Structure 1
Amino acid sequence: MKCILYTLMICCAVSACNNPKRKIMEPYKWPDAKAPIADIIPHKRVIHGDTVTDNYYWMIDYFKKGPDSTKVVDYLKAENTYLNTMMRGTDQFQADLFKEMKARIKEKDESVTVFKNGYFYYSRTEDGKQYFKYCRKKGSLSAAEEILLDVDDLAKGHAYYSATGFSISPDNNLLAFGVDKVSRRQYTIHIKNLETGEVYKDAVANTSGRAVWANDNKTIFYTANNPATLLSEKIKKHTLGADSHSDVVVYDEKDNTNYIGVGKSKNGRYILINSQGTLTSETRMIDADHPEAAFKVFTSRSKDVLYDVMPVDDKFLIVTNWNAKNFRLMECPLDQTARENWKEIIPHRKDVLLENAEEFQDYVVLSERKNGLTDLRVLKKDGSDYYIKFDEPAYDAGVGANPEYKSKTLRYSYTSLTTPSSTYDYNLEKKDQKLMKQQEVVGGYDPKEYVTERLFATAKDGAKIPIALVYKKGFKKNGNSPLLLYGYGSYGANMDVYFSSVRLSLLDRGFVFAIANIRGGQELGRQWYEDGKLMKKKNTFTDFITCGEYLIDQKYTSKGHLYANGGSAGGLLMGAVINLAPDLWNGVIADVPFVDVVNTMLDESIPLTTNEFDEWGNPKQKAAYDYMKSYSPYENIEKKAYPNLLVTTGLHDSQVQYFEPAKWVAKLRTMKTDKNVLFLKTNMEFGHGGASGRFDYLKEEALGYAFLFALEGIKK
């Protein structure tokens, strides 16, 4: 399932060159190994008068700690063994690909510094190390370095280690941080004294990982998660030195379809609690100088109204969709926050989506999206404004880390399919900018050797679907080249373009990489999202198919060389499109795919289920059940030919549980009529996001590349 947008993009697709010779390249000869066949144990689901037999429901037992737990693990291991046997002939190629991709990464590197409250903060990596060191310097970049947290050292002996949520106390003396050692995104918050180096005994378990400091330097607020469902249920208050079991609940969310979180205003004056679902939000606040105070509602939640609050010196700024589908900017006095006191600053526009705002003392910077691309708009105190524009046909630009409220410099990021990730500082007064850092591709990289385009495919209902693509210079549109089409299309998550040094291994072997901005995302405004969710979800799938057909029609590729990739909710997309158009794709990689939609959404004990009713619907309602069942990949497997498939999952995945892809693969094995390969790769140590080390994930990438390279007959 699920929400976490999943941008790992295991990008696999393939080719060696763009000439007719590639047609005679011999595909990899798969060994004659026997695929594992899962046991059939019928389980009946009866709801709304509809009876469905699920032969693989037992695979939930490892998650539920049921009687077949051991059998589940044995099956997953058998699938891994089968994959390794079938792919053994590519082992050396995978090793070479891993080295090739790793060689492009600058091992000894340092992030751009971020200035806050008298210190420059940054992280740095060292040669051969998987993790990083979190550091700071006081007052000047020439000052002595303080290593606040050595994650390389902390991660020793752990197969998975994630440190996140670094939060410094207002007096600069304490660091709060979250740690997850099992990859289920359940973090324990620790507190370190930066003067003495002591890590306090305070250890707050089952949290989102981030603590928010009150201005007294001894009180933190945090989000407490349910240990079973992983739902963010409560905001709690912890005092240094106290037993976390006695932490005070300051907010208890009663609506289990909402996510909640706590933060601090940029000007440091308020602690803010936000409760938000897909359609409704509500904010509570207290003065950060008074952590003992009771939180007060900013304005009461109302159906279909979303709002975000930003305090500035003399008022609150509000980004809201109240009577404004694409959102507008409003303001209200500090002491009159009810909605009737809101005054419009930037009105709603039908063709422009207002995504967010970044407040400074003298400026507000708006992120606006028009025609699927982002512009940054600067509002000055005198009411005038101007835009920071960008020129490439497809790019991604966004506001970066800007913690200093009084700053007159905007930190923003920029990337494209051909431009490495870049960080700029923009002087809001002088309107000039400085490139602070650009991702270095070790070994050299020339963007002029690659070409990017932006196209629009037309859906049957007339909707224009943006497609961004990139290829190596010299590419010929003759239909002979392989093409990887990536998609997501859920939660209003924007799938913007980005540069990948890893992807060069594919482009240099002659294939095209493309991203489809299908409905369900929010690239073309809020309506684009709403037209790809709930009872319109099938638009997401048909849009993706339309994009594939368009790219074939325009001779960027052909059916024998078209590949697809998506993860999480994008994995649902993969499952749906191979049911609807199985002959369109030569190969598909579905990463941690949300493919058992009905069963998961019926089971509220599965993590995050209730949070997602506004996205998929609640199948306990018959109309939602019927529609969901009509597209759920697991429910709609038929006796027919399917493309070559590589499916990945993680045993400890907290977003899409392992049993969804495992059941899907087991059922596909018994139903498909083709001789194409079907693989399931389960990472027995990791979860939804894969490995935590900065190099380990490349092994998964190399596996995916080798899979489709094998289909294309590319051997080096």
Structure 2
Amino acid sequence: MSVDPAVSTPPIAKKVPHQRSHHGDTFVDEYEWLRDKDDPEVIAYLEAENAYTDAQTANLQPLREKIFDEIKSRTQETDLSVPIRIGEFWYYSRSFEGKQYGVSCRCPVTDPDDWTPPELAVGVDIVGEQVLLDSNELAEGHDFFSLGAFSVSHDGSLLAYSVDTVGDERYTLRFKDLGTGELLADEIPETAPGATWAVDHTHLFYQTVDDAWRPDTVWRHKLGTSKGDDVKVFYEPDERYWVGIGSTRSEKYLLIWVGSKITSEGWMLESADPEGEFRVILPRREGVEYNVEHAVVGGEDRFLIMHNDVVDGVKAENFVLADAPVDDPSNMTLLIPHRDDVRLEEVDAFENHLVLSYRREALTRLAIWPIVDGRYGEHTELDFDLELFSVGLSSNPEWSQPTLRLGLTSFITPAKVLDYDLATGATVLRKQQPVLGDFDANNYEQHRDWAVAADGTRIPISVVVRKGVERPAPTLLYGYGSYEASMDPAFSVARLSLLDRGMVFAVAHVRGGGEMGRLWYENGKTLTKKNTFTDFVSCAQHLVDSGATTPERLVADGGSAGGLLMGAVANLAPELFAGIMANVPFVDPLTSILDPSLPLTVIEWDEWGNPLADKDVYEYMKSYSPYENVAAKDYPAILAITSLNDTRVLYVEPAKWVARLRATKTGDAPLLLKTEMSAGHGGVSGRYEKWKEAAFEYSWLLVTSGAEQE
């Protein structure tokens, strides 16, 4: 199938009836044939859709070029990151004008007692600089490139790194001698992205995935031996569980983590004994999640355990923090009790202090907690004078260090790298993301708004706009709302091209996300999933009713599970939007979740329910599935973007959705499908290619919302 780019007629997919029957219900799927990407007719159809999209958006080319140039002109292309100290070296990355990818470097620590990072400047030679890895060289000759593992051995002599040049998230692991710069003979294909060294810098642990792309096995590799000699140290047969491996910051323990969406289990091994046997920390119990961090208190090895088990007869939905002896983790002492308004997220342990990461009032928080005289002291929350912000620990690999590296940003605050002095409480700005040109944060404003859902729940909306923009204004409403993921405030250079053209950017923090605590998530998953969709509609309606925008000027955006949100909203309230953009959208969820052979399906049952085993789940999912519920109605303009090699949300979902929309919908609003033919779930690779993609999307959003285009 092909189409002349000059022709304005969209490609029409053929119909091949395919029956799917479950629980006494039969659904006739006329576009399931598009699943076979080895079929030349499928590729021809996708290419025809691409040609049609190119033809329909050709008029946007001048605007796309203008936006690309704006992003490029605001970005300091040749730049350096703030160095991070690990052992005897400062590690940092470089970027260079004209190059797509970063370059990883290090230079020696000259004074072991000085924790002030060296001030690096563009064009100034760095004494003792060593290039560890140049991703541009590794990417040469490939349409796609992704760096997976990047792990330096504890003595600084070896680098383990892995590369994916297809986009299917299968990596090849290699090893580099940092003394000679030579690659070792060891090479391990088909790995998951991570890699963890034992302290002997001879043994390394890595993961592999099963046919469903689930990391299920941890292997031990001894340098100088073949892959065939690698030892399987852990295997998880239950398809609901995902396996990972890492180490404590103290480097004393290796930790294997096994987790489903609702249950977790940890296994430990002293890193100095890499050929020993891992032992379970706390046996898994359905519905109980926990994580541990190693601390030394009063000279004793302790595990800090954050969990959501029952405490005093009440389920700790938002988690509590306890500690216990390493040799008896079940003997816990409660340190921080449960609170309905605070979601504990993480604890990080250092030699003489802890750092608590938590969430309150839909914002991230940090508190410093000293270990004094062999016991836990009083914790102090860090304060930031911003209405909306995101704060978190940056990279702090050293167990003993006098400063903490933090990251701070907001919608109007370019990312800041801060060092917090633990002795004085002073905060030093090490670097702020440079924004070239005439950018002035004072020209923009951000605030929190609230919508009210149908059941009376207040839904937070984050809003950022250029000052002086008159309302109603063209508005982009973004949403996600799954997996307890929080859409926290963050600065974007590219987004300035929207804001400076008078577009308002808003984020609907709908249920299913994690912004307001664990129950916020619980009330937007499985048999309450529709709250995610109706919350978004309520946010859109609020923006219209308050006079902030109009349906003719409102566009929606979401990707992956947020693409499911977009598809559901298109069916629920098409009249509220001028356009909807869906990136790698999960718009055929029932077909996917019904098929355990598809990548990651079984893992997803805890999030969506198991429609194979449960008729109620089947009927509930069918009632909101965007694909099944396409109807003969006027939809807004729709732009769906996908990638042929995506292993998380298969390209076939948006392809089928668009095909069914074309055959069913009424009205003349444009419907476009764009497939990246050599990319994965994250889309194209390389920063210039990503800027081009952003320019393509932004130009469509601006025109669709009626915003300024100059």
Pick the TM interval, shorter chain.
over 0.9
The equivalent position to 2:195 in structure 1, one of 187, 208, 211, is 211
Question: Matched residues in 1 for 2:492 and 2:199: separation?
Answer: 41
Q: Which residue of 1 is the match for residue 474 of structure 2?
A: 482
Q: Which residue of 1 is the match for residue 146 of structure 2?
A: 162
3-state DSSP of counterpart to 2:239: coil
Aligned CA distance change for structure 1 residues 42 and 356 (closer, same or farther; 3 Å): same
Question: Matched residues in 1 for 2:166 and 2:101: separation?
Answer: 16
Question: Matched residues in 1 for 2:43 and 2:109: separation?
Answer: 53
Q: Which residue of 2 is the match for residue 539 of structure 1?
A: 531
Structure 1 residue 499: deviation in Å?
0.6
Q: Is residue 403 of structure 1 aligned with residue 397 of structure 2?
A: yes
Q: Which residue of 2 is the match for residue 569 of structure 1?
A: 561
The equivalent position to 1:351 in structure 2, one of 341, 356, 359, is 341
Question: Matched residues in 2 for 1:182 and 1:297: separation?
Answer: 36
Q: Is residue 294 of structure 1 aligned with residue 277 of structure 2?
A: yes
Question: Matched residues in 2 for 1:112 and 1:471: separation?
Answer: 30
Q: Which residue of 1 is the match for residue 123 of structure 2?
A: none
Question: Matched residues in 1 for 2:574 and 2:22: separation?
Answer: 30
Match for 1:347: what amino acid? P
Structure 1 residue 366: deviation in Å?
0.5
Q: Which residue of 2 is the match for residue 113 of structure 1?
A: 83
Match for 1:144: what amino acid? G
The equivalent position to 2:104 in structure 1, one of 97, 117, 134, is 134
Question: Matched residues in 2 for 1:268 and 1:690: separation?
Answer: 35
TM-score, normalised by the number of residues in structure 1: 0.93
3-state DSSP of counterpart to 2:543: helix
3-state DSSP of counterpart to 2:136: helix
Match for 1:567: what amino acid? G
The equivalent position to 1:330 in structure 2, one of 322, 341, 351, is 322
Q: 1:91-129 CA distances to partner (integer Å, 9 max, x unpaired)?
A: 222122211111111110111111111211011011111
Q: Is residue 649 of structure 1 aligned with residue 642 of structure 2?
A: yes
Question: Matched residues in 2 for 1:32 and 1:175: separation?
Answer: 53
3-state DSSP of counterpart to 2:661: helix
Q: Which residue of 2 is the match for residue 100 of structure 1?
A: 70
Structure 1 residue 408: deviation in Å?
2.6
Q: Which residue of 2 is the match for residue 435 of structure 1?
A: 429
Q: Which residue of 2 is the match for residue 90 of structure 1?
A: 60
Alignment of 1:491-570 (within 5 A): 491-570=483-562
Computed over aligned residues only, the root mean square deviation of the Cα atoms, in angstroms, reads: 1.3
Question: Matched residues in 1 for 2:133 and 2:458: separation?
Answer: 48
Aligned CA distance change for structure 1 residues 31 and 470 (closer, same or farther; 3 Å): farther
3-state DSSP of counterpart to 2:75: coil
- Which deviates further from its counterpart, 562-571 or 149-158? 149-158
The equivalent position to 2:30 in structure 1, one of 50, 55, 58, is 55
Structure 1 residue 31: deviation in Å?
8.3
Q: 1:107-158 CA distances to partner (integer Å, 9 max, x unpaired)?
A: 1011111111121101101111111111111114464101011111111111
Q: Which residue of 1 is the match for residue 132 of structure 2?
A: 148
Count matched residues: 677
Q: 1:584-606 CA distances to partner (integer Å, 9 max, x unpaired)?
A: 00011000000000110111222
Match for 1:452: what amino acid? Q
Q: 1:295-343 CA distances to partner (integer Å, 9 max, x unpaired)?
A: 1000100111111111122211111111211011110012112x2x011
Q: Which residue of 2 is the match for residue 11 of structure 1?
A: none
Percent same amino acid at aligned positions?
44
8 Å Cα contact 2:502/2:707 also seen in 1? no
Match for 1:692: what amino acid? S
Q: Which residue of 2 is the match for residue 225 of structure 1?
A: 209
Match for 1:351: what amino acid? D
Q: Which residue of 2 is the match for residue 9 of structure 1?
A: none
Match for 1:581: what amino acid? A
Match for 1:267: what amino acid? S
- Which deviates further from its counterpart, 384-393 or 514-523? 384-393
The equivalent position to 1:316 in structure 2, one of 285, 288, 303, is 303
8 Å Cα contact 1:362/1:408 also seen in 2? no
Q: Which residue of 2 is the match for residue 640 of structure 1?
A: 633
Q: Is residue 376 of structure 1 aligned with residue 403 of structure 2?
A: no
3-state DSSP of counterpart to 2:173: strand
Alignment of 1:616-635 (within 5 A): 616-620=608-612, 621-635=614-628
Q: 1:500-524 CA distances to partner (integer Å, 9 max, x unpaired)?
A: 1111111111110001110001110
The equivalent position to 2:258 in structure 1, one of 269, 272, 275, is 275
Q: Which residue of 1 is the match for residue 231 of structure 2?
A: 248
3-state DSSP of counterpart to 1:261: strand
Q: Which residue of 2 is the match for residue 462 of structure 1?
A: 456
Match for 2:17: what amino acid? P
Q: 1:413-462 CA distances to partner (integer Å, 9 max, x unpaired)?
A: 11111000111111122111011111111113100001111111111212
Structure 1 residue 246: deviation in Å?
3.0
8 Å Cα contact 1:375/1:390 also seen in 2? no
The equivalent position to 1:445 in structure 2, one of 439, 445, 464, is 439
Question: Matched residues in 2 for 1:302 and 1:380: separation?
Answer: 32
Question: Matched residues in 2 for 1:419 and 1:317: separation?
Answer: 34
Structure 1 residue 393: deviation in Å?
1.4
Q: Which residue of 2 is the match for residue 13 of structure 1?
A: none
3-state DSSP of counterpart to 2:516: coil
Q: Which residue of 1 is the match for residue 414 of structure 2?
A: 420
8 Å Cα contact 1:598/1:629 also seen in 2? yes
Structure 1 residue 714: deviation in Å?
4.1
Structure 1 residue 79: deviation in Å?
0.2
Q: 1:55-75 CA distances to partner (integer Å, 9 max, x unpaired)?
A: 00001111xx4xxx1111000
Q: Which residue of 2 is the match for residue 694 of structure 1?
A: 687
Match for 1:318: what amino acid? I
8 Å Cα contact 1:214/1:288 also seen in 2? yes
Question: Matched residues in 2 for 1:545 and 1:713: separation?
Answer: 22
Question: Matched residues in 2 for 1:520 and 1:130: separation?
Answer: 35
Higher relative contact order (CA 8 A, sep 6+): 1
Q: Which residue of 2 is the match for residue 40 of structure 1?
A: 15
Structure 1 residue 349: deviation in Å?
0.8
Structure 1 residue 288: deviation in Å?
0.4
Match for 1:356: what amino acid? E
8 Å Cα contact 1:360/1:408 also seen in 2? no
Question: Matched residues in 1 for 2:696 and 2:187: separation?
Answer: 38
Question: Matched residues in 2 for 1:302 and 1:55: separation?
Answer: 42
Q: Is residue 598 of structure 1 aligned with residue 590 of structure 2?
A: yes
Question: Matched residues in 1 for 2:443 and 2:6: separation?
Answer: 38
Q: 1:588-631 CA distances to partner (integer Å, 9 max, x unpaired)?
A: 10000000001101112221111111001111021111111110
Match for 1:476: what amino acid? E
Question: Matched residues in 2 for 1:46 and 1:246: separation?
Answer: 46
The equivalent position to 1:196 in structure 2, one of 177, 180, 184, is 180
Question: Matched residues in 1 for 2:502 and 2:438: separation?
Answer: 19
Q: Which residue of 1 is the match for residue 122 of structure 2?
A: none
- Which deviates further from its counterpart, 612-621 or 563-572? 612-621
8 Å Cα contact 1:552/1:558 also seen in 2? yes
8 Å Cα contact 1:189/1:210 also seen in 2? no
Where in structure 1 do 4 or more consecutive aligned residues deviate above 4 Å?
none
Aligned CA distance change for structure 1 residues 566 and 652 (closer, same or farther; 3 Å): same
8 Å Cα contact 1:412/1:423 also seen in 2? yes
8 Å Cα contact 2:85/2:398 also seen in 1? yes
Question: Matched residues in 1 for 2:49 and 2:70: separation?
Answer: 28
Question: Matched residues in 1 for 2:201 and 2:465: separation?
Answer: 53
8 Å Cα contact 1:48/1:622 also seen in 2? yes
The equivalent position to 1:306 in structure 2, one of 289, 293, 300, is 289
Question: Matched residues in 1 for 2:358 and 2:55: separation?
Answer: 50
